Structure 1
Amino acid sequence: MRTRETILYAAAEIFDECGYSGASISKIMERAQVTQGGMYFHFKSKRSLAQAVLAHQQDFVHFSGEAVGLQKLVDLSFFLARELQNNAMFRASVRLAVEQGEFGGHDDTAYQEWVNEFRALLHEARKRGELLADVDETEFANVLVGAYSGIQVFSNISTGRADLPERIVSMWRYLLPAVATPQARAKISFPADVQRLAA
């Protein structure tokens, strides 16, 4: 099992650095320091490796924010920005989600997992009276995942994600008035140090 995990993490690093097209089995084998037999025992192709990295997207992040409701959702969005800046495994899975057409993929599972995560936090916010009456939690979770995905891609192209936290501030500055009660908005803060949110 340890060899499989070593290969998976080496593949994620290579996919992050080179993208799907630029990655090769030989580069991954060299990074993982495994033989061809060891590689093919666990993964039959570069495509199967890419699919495995993509399937483990949420496993690559460990968020343990203590806030609740909307504040926890806001904190999570900043934590993910930090992870995109610093966590090669998470970055690779996100890159592959965007590039999956290159290996014949049309799987929105990674996106749907984040929709479910965000929706659960929005349900909690609803119970706490933080959402406006006309907000549909599922609809907003979908909008938020789409907006976040586009913002991080734009930030990556523009600055290598250096400005991603600032872009997330802008996103929330416009989205919160559309979904949160004035009382909830008054209590929301943007974390100055997202490192503290790491598990």
Structure 2
Amino acid sequence: MTVVEAIFYLFATILVASAFMVISARNPVHSVLFLVLAFFNGAGLFILAGAEFLGFTLILVYVGAVMVLFLFVLMMLDINLQRMREGILTYLPLGAVIAFILVVEMAMALSAGAEGPVAASGDALGSSEAGNTTLLGRVLYDQYLLPFEVAALVLLVALVAAIALTLRQRPDAKKQAPGHQVRARREERVRLVDMPTEKRQTPTGDSAGAEEE
């Protein structure tokens, strides 16, 4: 067994174990942390296979953004764990059927990809010695530039629409007026009050009598 094979089996074993812990952990926060571990090991397998772009994308996008968001949401929500476990045995047969179908589809996809022809050779992309990220960038920004720009435009429109939906005018909503704040003057914001001072006496009989009065 070579070093590469040993690293592959190590990553694969940790990946399968962490994936099993995701569905078997009692605490949802622990499930999210095990899912982060599974993503890290999956990224390691991608890098080991020569797909370093997919590996780093998996770490940056899913581990760095999506899973952190899920973790914060689960920590902020009050989840009833006992209610979540209800009805697991009822939906277990349906889940097993769906899992079997997914395994069969993955096996068919892998067998078809192994038997199919290679889409493009290294000479067609410019250089056979270039890295995976370089070749992917050449294809993305050369052959598929228009679909890439259209997808970016669609995401921009979705972002603007999401911001516009949150900016609805509500009568009970409090908002700031920066123009009025900048034009504010000291006389309008600060008021000096001259409070009369009282003479304090020493703690003797005179002070006690003053307090009674």
TM-score scaled by structure 2? Answer: 0.25
If asked which structure has higher relative contact order (CA below 8 Å, sep 6+), I would say 1
